[in-house]
Structure 1
Amino acid sequence: MSDLSKGSQSSNSFTLAEIASHIGGEVSGDAQHKISSMGTLASADASQLSFLSNPKYTSELKTSKAGAVILAQAQADEYKGNAIIHSNPYVGFALASQLLDSTPSQSAGISVNASISQSASIGKNVSIEAGAVIGKNVVIGDGCQIGAGVYIGENARLGNDCIIRANVTIYHGVVLGNEVSVHSGTVIGADGFGYANNKGTWIKIPQTGAVQIGDGTEVGANSCIDRGALDDTQIGKNCIIDNMVQIGHNCIIGDHSCICGSTGIAGSVTIGKHVIIAGGVGINGHITICDNVQVTGFSMVTKNITESGVYSSGMPAVPTREWQKNTVKLRSIDKLYERVKILEQQQSSSEA
């Protein structure tokens, strides 16, 4: 990719030649055509760039008014408009979207309404908005953006260029790598769910570990990553964690893994690299999932997964009347099993 940076030109517009250079593509058509934003094939106008990666939307290509479209070579051969040819149009779309991103960024500077401990270390070009509270001995690296109402507890450390959105809570001792992004409402480093039962009374186990999160990982809104009971909870680099995900104490999640929304992961789970956990999945504690596994939505993982592949257990939705009929049949499965056993025994006796 090129060294173009967002907003390097007035009004944040770029020529197709510049965009193609940035995303590693090749222009077909007017290389000097100016693009200022992204749009869908159906809605984009002449100032916008679109893309085609899903064959489902191929029909929209013929009528699209987009200024240019990111395409694979096979589609580009049949397209008459401006195009950027890319080996992976969806990756090209992601890279172009970063270049044309219009999301407001905080200006460097520290609000007079932020509360910052005198022992905290704040790097260069850091933005800290009103209402943020920075605790004792916190270290914040260069270029970080700390949103309004953020709390960062004692001895926490943030690497360079982290983005912490409004109202995030980062407990004591948490360590974030470089370029970690955390969205609003998320809590990192709350106590893990550790209790011992003594004759019906719950006794709390102090959670004295912390949380470590690797470079380039993004955590969605309203998620919870619990601190370890003794050792640290560990999230690898370049992981993507969706909204409303629960990660229990002492979990280890490998690099480049994806955890989708509303998934609940119990304590002491080890998840390998390049694992994709779909939405609404439940994972029992103290199990291991190896590298390169995909778990489909609403599955329940109750034991180790030791071979890469796709795993499922959730029941897909069917019309209610069909579901009711199937439920009645499932209730009779024990009786059916016993009848089959008897028939098999009778068959074996007759053959003897």
Structure 2
Amino acid sequence: MSSLTLGEIVKHLNQRIAEGAFPLSTLAVVSGDENLVITGLASLSQAGPTQLSFLANSQYRGQLQTTGAGAMILTEADREAFAGSAIVVSDPYYVFAQLTHLFDPFNAVEVAIHPTAVISPLATIGENVSIGPFVVVEDHAQIGDGAVLISSVHVGRSCVIGAKCWLGHGVTIHHGCILGQRTRIHAGAVIGAEGFGFATAEGRWHRIVQLGRVVIGDDVRIGANTTIDRGALDDTIIADGVIIDNQVQIAHNVKIGAHTALAAGTGVAGSTTIGSHCILGGLVGVAGHLEITDRVHITAMSMITRSIKESGSYSSGSAFEKTADWRKSAVRVRHLGEMAAQIKGLQLALERLELQLGNQ
């Protein structure tokens, strides 16, 4: 969308609030010139006179005096600090997030099937679907209404792609997997590849066919080059509202609860269950066959080797320091067992000395 007035933006917001689509406690209000034309969104420091910015943290309130933004998204409490026009709302950051969709220049797609796409006559294609170049849709796959398959997407046999899903360049959905509605999967992600399952006999590895699926809920976001393996027998399950960053590995039979977030580089080993509303920072490693309860926050680069049964924040590893100091610390860590034995010896000697003094 090229441009909108402040009044038109607020009308859109309030319509969505009235529909229950936006969970805001109060309607948006224009404070100032409702006919001011807005051409896009920008940060406080970079915004120009036809752009809309926002203030989500009052810590940066002083920047309202210096920003070049033509208008701001603000709370009522911060309104007086900005001299220009504003959209007054209860949650500026949430409103900003929703307006990024409105001003996305690449949001519009053509409802069409590209002539290079290969679609099985046994597949079911919904209404208002966009299927780009070199997409493959195999037998008995179902593509829901309003779905977008950008290019070189491969949808395997008997897959179900929910309504309004968006699949980026080169996404692969292997046979039998299910995607809920409005799920968004970015370039190069692979859903439903064979899990890492092998049996050993006579010193050799023997492949176990992975008979489960990947079942993904509604409103899930999966980043570029992420891989989610199919289950061995039971399904790998990603619940509603989960967000997964780029280059994340989720092994077979993992279950991830609703609205959990996994940052880039995280790896979750097989048959682990992660609860709802959890946050796993970047490069977290989670061992297999564990259970992590709801509302757990695991900080970046932590290694989780046992189940977590209590909500809260967890960390592992050592904090960074200057290399010379880190090397000294590493040497001390190697001698911790020896030092503990020495301390225990000193404690016993002290107890004997106190006993001798007490007997005099």
**TM norm structure 2:** 0.91
Q: 1:143 aligns with which of 146, 165, 172?
A: 146
Q: C-alpha distance in 1, partners of 2:100/2:5?
A: 14
Q: C-alpha distance in 2, partners of 1:320/1:28?
A: 54
Q: 1:19 aligns with which of 6, 9, 13?
A: 9
Q: Secondary structure at the match of 1:109?
A: coil
Q: Secondary structure at the match of 2:329?
A: helix
Q: Secondary structure at the match of 2:210?
A: coil
Q: 2:269 aligns with which of 260, 266, 269?
A: 266
CA contact 1:108–1:127 (8 Å) conserved in 2? yes
Q: C-alpha distance in 1, partners of 2:5/2:299?
A: 41
**Deviation by residue 1:116-148 (Cα, 9 ceiling, x = unmatched):** 111000000111111111101000011111121
Matched residue, 1:177: 180
Q: 1:58 aligns with which of 58, 61, 65?
A: 61
**Deviation by residue 1:141-162 (Cα, 9 ceiling, x = unmatched):** 1111112111110000111011
Higher Cα radius of gyration: 2
Deviation at 1:332, TM superposition (A): 2.3
Map 1:132-211 → 2, pairs under 5 A: 132-211=135-214
Deviation at 1:299, TM superposition (A): 0.6
1:242 corresponds to 2:245? yes
1:73 corresponds to 2:76? yes
Matched residue, 1:336: 339
**TM norm structure 1:** 0.93
CA contact 2:229–2:236 (8 Å) conserved in 1? yes
Runs of 4+ in 1 over 6 A off after TM superposition: none
Q: C-alpha distance in 2, partners of 1:19/1:290?
A: 41
Matched residue, 1:4: none
Matched residue, 2:126: 123
Q: 1:96 aligns with which of 96, 99, 112?
A: 99
Deviation at 1:206, TM superposition (A): 0.6
Letter in 2 for 1:324: R
Count of paired positions: 342
1:254 corresponds to 2:244? no
Q: C-alpha distance in 1, partners of 2:341/2:303?
A: 28
Tell me: CA distance 1:308–1:18, structure 2 relative to 1, closer, same or farther (3 Å): farther
**Deviation by residue 1:204-233 (Cα, 9 ceiling, x = unmatched):** 111000000001101010000000000110
Q: Secondary structure at the match of 1:327?
A: helix
List runs of 5+ in structure 2 lacking aligned partners: 15-26, 356-360
Instruction: Using the TM superposition, name which of 97-106 and 298-307 deviates more.
Output: 97-106
Instruction: Using the TM superposition, name which of 208-217 and 78-87 deviates more.
Output: 78-87
Letter in 2 for 1:232: D
Q: C-alpha distance in 1, partners of 2:300/2:326?
A: 19
Q: C-alpha distance in 2, partners of 1:318/1:56?
A: 29
Letter in 2 for 1:20: V
Letter in 2 for 1:101: D
